[in-house]
Amino acid sequence: MLCTVERVIYPKAGQESSNGFSIVSFVCNTHKKDDPLAIDRNGEDLYGKAFKAKGYYLPTARAIQFEVHGHWNSHPQYGNTLEVEEIKENVTENETGIMTYLTSGLIKGLGFKTARAIYKKFGNDTLKILDSNPERLMEVSGIKRKKMEQIITSYTAYRGAKDVVSILAPLGIPSNRAVKIYNKYLDKAAEICQTHPFRLCFSKLLSFGIADNLSKAYKLSDASEERCMAAMYNILIQAETGGTSFRKTSGHLCIPYKEWMEKSKILLDTVEVSYDLLQKVAANMANKKIVKISPHPETKEVYVYRYVTALAEYEAADAIVSLITKAKDPAFDVEDEIRLMELDVNFKLAPEQRNAVITGLKNHLSVITGGPGTGKTTIINFIQTIYKKNNPDAKILLCAPTGRAARRMFESTGQKAFTIHKALNLQANEEGIYEDAELLEYDLIIVDEISMLDMFLARTFFKSIKEGTQVVLIGDSNQLPSVGPGAVLAEIIASEVVKVAKLTRVYRQQSESLIALNSLLMCKGKYTLDYGDDFVFIPAKDWEDAAKLMKKEYMNAVEEVGIDDVSMLSPFRSNKTATGVDSLNLEIKDIINPPTPSKKEMVAFGKIFREGDKVMQTKTTDDISNGDIGYITKIIGSDGEQIAIIDFGDERVVEYYQSDMETIDWAYATTVHKSQGSEYKIVIFNIMEGHSIMLKRNLAYTAVTRAKSKVIIIGNKSALVQAIKTGIEDEDKRNTMLAIRLKMMKEKRELTA
């Protein structure tokens, strides 16, 4: 039947449904003689009357007529209610109809002015253009690519993707994910969701759990090859990124074949799937280059990788070995140049610092590793200054994995530094694989915070370095490994094919810094720490008490040094506890930046963002890196076309439409992992016995070393002691063969040279 929207009953204004479910009051525009659906519970004609309908992602625009299909049901609160199965816009293809549709609010990011310009350009063909050739929108004055993508994403969600939305919404999958599925599979998207949902797991469009729920809903076989393949692939994804099958460790590039079989069978959870069947599926996956099955070169134990991951490891190893064998030795006396610079800057290097500078300047590829206060910044300055003096025309690149680490590099050296992503002009595809990297045409490259480099970024980085380039890798081997899979720094050091200079002595503030001294003690597994003005421990009775203390100390610290120089760190993001990052952010954001009539707000992905909010980018995009922190300086537009202006510093001011805000979170508190590459004057760190599997030395060490002036640890001292005592045992190490591959490749090249 045809109808128009009267009002939205649920969710209430300013709120957002977590799964897209809504209840809407419609007015019927169809007589019962024309559509049997237009009959109320008493058999009366509904024409001109209001009725309630429920469904997922129902429209809210009042100016458009809709064709609604479904069935009547009884609701305990709302009475006789239409269960919506399908809904279509009834748009008259003339100026009035098209303009009404475009400005109805259904298409986010499209206001009257832009709609008028679109219709003026394309006339009555506007909807055809939107359906078949949307890139032509960029022919309209004022519409750039990002604006075009915003319009089309929203348009697609309400037209071509509606069937996919209706299939996925009951499972709690947001409409933007349905749009991505539709954009990939177009008119086959709905059919694939219903008949081959496990295919969506391989492009990371659906998790195995969601695909399995779809499979059960449409009564597909529990023992199908597609289901087995998806489950087995999911286990490898979990090994890389974490998940229920890998609660203790993650970041593995590969896992033992036997473990893969066992975990896959548990995940599939049906007697219909035997080990024989899994082995047949595994062989098929290997033939299709979905996985790589290979024995360990030394132990001969059989391991399995995702094929793309195995390729990344092999290509990274090959590129590293190529760097070692193809660069040139310096044409100047390194030690003489060090002595001259010491005289020039009136500073004498300590013996191990001198050795590090020599290592960096004399070797094709080198690693310099050390903790806070050991002089890494001084060494960077010596290396680049001496190199530039003797190679005046040389091109030097300073870079780091994150924007904050790059900015720290700039602040400490006075030389411009870039993120690795920016230097390579990188964008990752849906698989997280970097494509079309630019060649790094530099003579010297110095990379800081190398411990944050995962295997995929490492492969792309090392492959993009031109022949003859000298590379110096700087990092702290005691920090947490990368968020992504691999243990690049640890494996390069373990391989012994790359020259390594280790810095163990603390020089910061003439060894008066308790932060530097205690971090050194922690590295050695010593848990009897020195406490004082800059290294404080405050006991907490429970989670709630810890959260209360953290908020108190945070407010005091903000008043003392300013909000930019303070951070709250927690091992976990989850808001199941009061000190989870999500919980802390929800508590503190309205205290730090309370709502006022003068501050505009934007509702996006269940969060209310406000002008003045301190926020963090959670995914690398364009110039903004994962972990970069900025402020929402302005929110412009109305509910149908809102844009948040976020200033990340360094003249990086970015516009975010509501659909872009999925990658934005508050940044008053953050996880220890997300804090890597950052420094703050004051760090407030929570550690509790309940953090259990996270209580590791490298986690506590990373948290403590984010502070420049003061560390405040809140929680259980027993948990801190446990963390310091718990180093990385063999069973906790990430499975990777990078070190052994580097050894074998170097030996092979030496034999064939």
> What is the rounded CA–CA span in Å between residue 385 and residue 389?
6
Confidence band for 157, pLDDT divided at 50, 70 and 90: low
pLDDT of 593: 94
**pLDDT value, residue 701:** 92
Q: With bands split at pLDDT 50, 70 and 90, how would you rate the model's confidence at 77?
A: low
Q: Is 728 helix (H, G, I), strand (E, B) or coil?
A: coil
Calculate mean pLDDT across residues 713-729.
Answer: 88
Residue 54 clears pLDDT 60, i.e. is over it: yes
Name which residue leads in pLDDT, 604 or 571. Answer: 571
Instruction: Return the number of other C-beta atoms located less than 10 Å from residue 128's C-beta.
Output: 11
**pLDDT at position 231, please?**
95
Other CB atoms within 10 A of residue 340 CB: 13
For the stretch 177-191, pLDDT in tens is: 777 788 788 778 889
642 pLDDT tier (thresholds 50, 70, 90)? confident
| Mean pLDDT estimate for the chain | 87
Summarised one tens digit per residue, pLDDT across range 377-419 is 999 999 999 999 999 999 999 999 887 788 888 888 888 998 8
| Rounded-to-integer distance, Cα 266 and Cα 231, Å | 10
CA distance 632 to 629: 10
Q: What pLDDT, on the 0 to 100 scale, is given for residue 623? A: 64
pTM of the model: 0.77
Residues 295-323: what's their mean pLDDT?
94
Q: Collapsing DSSP states into helix, strand and coil, what is residue 533? A: coil
> Do 222 and 268 contact (CB within 8 A), yes or no?
yes
**Which tens digit of pLDDT belongs to each residue from 457-502?**
999 999 999 988 999 999 998 888 888 899 999 999 999 999 999 9
- Higher pLDDT pick, 92 / 255: 255
Residue 510: per-residue pLDDT = 45
Asked whether residue 287 carries a pLDDT value surpassing 90, the answer given is yes
Closest to 450 in 3D by CA, of 415, 408, 492: 492
172 pLDDT higher than 80:
no
**Average pLDDT over every residue of 629-658:** 82
Please determine, for residue 726, whether its predicted confidence score (pLDDT) is greater than 90.
no
Sign of CA dihedral 661, 666, 671, 677: positive
Between 662 and 490, the more confident residue is 490
Q: What is the pLDDT of residues 409-442, one digit of tens each?
A: 888 888 899 889 888 887 666 556 666 788 999 9
Query: Which carries the bigger pLDDT value, residue 573 or residue 229?
Result: 229
Biggest alpha carbon–alpha carbon distance for the chain:
100
Alpha-carbon span 66 to 108, nearest angstrom = 18
CB 492, CB 473: distance < 8 Å: yes
Residue 233 CA: distances (Å) to CA of 201, 281, 282, 290, 306 = 8, 11, 10, 8, 7
At 296 the pLDDT is: 92
- Compute the average pLDDT of residues 548-554: 95
> Does 174 score more than 80 pLDDT?
no
Mean pLDDT (whole number) for 155-172: 73
Is residue 605's pLDDT more than 80? no
pLDDT of residue 147: 83
Strand pairing partners for 319?
Answer: none
Across the range 718-735, mean pLDDT stands at 81
Residue type, position 242, single letter: G
- pLDDT above 90: residue 144: no
Q: Which two tokens stand for residue 380?
A: 């960077």
Query: Dihedral (C-alpha) 721, 725, 731, 734: value to the nearest 10 degrees?
Result: 80
Question: Residues 341-378: pLDDT tens digits?
Answer: 999 999 999 999 999 999 999 999 999 999 888 889 99
Q: What value does the mean pLDDT take over residues 575-595?
A: 90
Dist CA 29 CA 77 (whole Å): 25
Averaged pLDDT, 188-204: 90
- Does pLDDT of 160 surpass 70? no
Which tens digit of pLDDT belongs to each residue from 315-344? 999 999 998 876 567 788 999 999 999 999
What pLDDT score was predicted for residue 638? 63
Q: How far, in Å, CA of 363 to CA of 155, rounded?
A: 56
One-letter amino acid for residue 657 of the chain: Y
